[in-house]
Chain A
Amino acid sequence: MARQRRTAAATDIDMTPMIDVTFQLITFFMFTLNFTEAEQDQRIQLPTSQVAKPVENSDLEPLTLQLMNDGRVIYNGEAVPLEALGDYLENEKSVMIAASKAPADATVVVRADGRSRAGDVQQIIRDCQAKGFEKFVLRAEYKGP
């Protein structure tokens, strides 16, 4: 009888170290969770550069326009043809003016695929200029030396 009791106690493993480790892992994965990944579309292969300045987090919310290989632009998560971008930008502009912000103060972030046409990137910039945007940022993947 006493012997049976001892084997029952032996199956009772000490959970504490395992739970410690598991919580460590959870905290690690929680902190590495990236909330801005909506702005990093996986369909876009950025060109690489050694001197691109690391992204500064300014308090102003940037307008991110992502140009895909096929010439379509991802705006607010949906792919729109380049020709239609002007209408969406007009929308964006009126939203900004309603919030009493000027388009000239906003930064337009252009994330263009390395294989897209240079003319399309310039077209995006021209479309933005026509709506009053002035600050542009071209994004590239940083690849250290």
Chain B
Amino acid sequence: MAKRRARLSSKIDINMTPMIDVVFQLLTFFMLTLKTVIVEGDFNIKMPLGAAAGAAEDIPLPPLQVRLTATPEGRLAGVRLGEQPLVGPELLGQLAGTDAEIEAALANAKANPAGLAAAQRARQSAIATLVATLQAGILDTFGNNPDKAEEAELVLDCDPGLKYDYVVSAITAASGIVEGDEVIPLIRKIKFAPPK
């Protein structure tokens, strides 16, 4: 009787080892395939073919022209809104300086990772200043009324050699104002000027 009971109780004791092996295999697999996903966002750009002439009629305001010029290295050389220059030489110099710093820090990234992080932070703040300056200029043309801007159209005219970073900064400045957690939309229709 005693013998029988002992056998019964040992039968319930399942061997966990293979299951735990498999479970840990799975766990390691999922852990190693984990990649931190950066949050991405979109800017809509509508560029239908041949609509440039016809579409202009139903837009109440003439399109805003933003011209971005570039130095031979692809740095920002100047910003003009219509005919009026927007960005002063100090900011342009600061932007070019952070550009050069990042390039130097990238070449030296293995030896000095903190330097790269600092260069990127300086870059971020310079870009933020650029965006703020551009935005102030754009808002000025609409009499500081964001509602008016929503109807408008923006044409970006960039030098082909310009770094794409600056183009995105200009689009950022034109498409919305960040206020706390909210974004007030500005110009919805953004397109590129045809090449000359």
Count how many pairs of residues, one from A and one from B, have CB atoms less than 8 Å apart in the complex. Answer: 171
CB atoms of B161 and A141 under 8 A apart: no
CB atoms of A26 and B26 under 8 A apart: yes
B-side contacts of A100, CB under 8 Å: none
The stretch of A78-86, A88-96, A113-121 that contacts the partner chain: A113-121
Bound CA span A112–B165, Å: 9
Bound CA span A26–B20, Å: 12
A97 at the interface (CB under 8 A from B): no
| With A51-B178, A51-B183, A140-B168 as contacts: A118 and B45 at CB distance below 8 Å | no
A-side contacts of B34, CB under 8 Å: 29, 32-33
| With A29-B30, A51-B176, A115-B165 as contacts: A125 and B43 at CB distance below 8 Å | no
B162 at the interface (CB under 8 A from A): yes
A-side contacts of B164, CB under 8 Å: 47, 67, 112-118, 120-121
A60 at the interface (CB under 8 A from B): no
B-side contacts of A116, CB under 8 Å: 163-164
CB atoms of A25 and B41 under 8 A apart: no
A-side contacts of B96, CB under 8 Å: none
A72 at the interface (CB under 8 A from B): no
CB atoms of A118 and B158 under 8 A apart: yes
Number of chain A residues whose Cβ lies closer than 8 Å to a Cβ of chain B: 54
Partner of A129, one of B24, B41, B47, B127: B47
CB atoms of A136 and B45 under 8 A apart: yes
Report B23-61 CB contacts with A as 1/0, cut-off 8 Å. 110110011011101111111111111000000000000
| With A33-B34, A51-B176, A51-B183 as contacts: A142 and B40 at CB distance below 8 Å | yes
Q: Which residues of B169-185 have CB atoms within 8 Å of chain A's CB atoms?
A: 169, 171-172, 175-178, 180-181, 183
B124 at the interface (CB under 8 A from A): yes
B-side contacts of A32, CB under 8 Å: 34
CB atoms of A140 and B41 under 8 A apart: yes
Bound CA span A51–B178, Å: 7
Bound CA span A15–B160, Å: 64
Report A3-14 CB contacts with B as 1/0, cut-off 8 Å. 000000000100
CB pairs A–B below 8 angstroms (22 shown): A19-B19, A19-B20, A22-B23, A25-B31, A29-B30, A46-B40, A49-B41, A49-B171, A52-B40, A52-B41, A52-B43, A53-B43, A54-B40, A117-B163, A121-B167, A135-B46, A137-B44, A139-B43, A140-B42, A141-B39, A142-B40, A145-B178
Which A residues form the contact surface with B (CB < 8 A)? 12, 15, 19, 22-23, 25-26, 29-30, 32-34, 37, 40, 46-56, 67, 104, 109, 112-122, 125-126, 129, 132, 134-143, 145
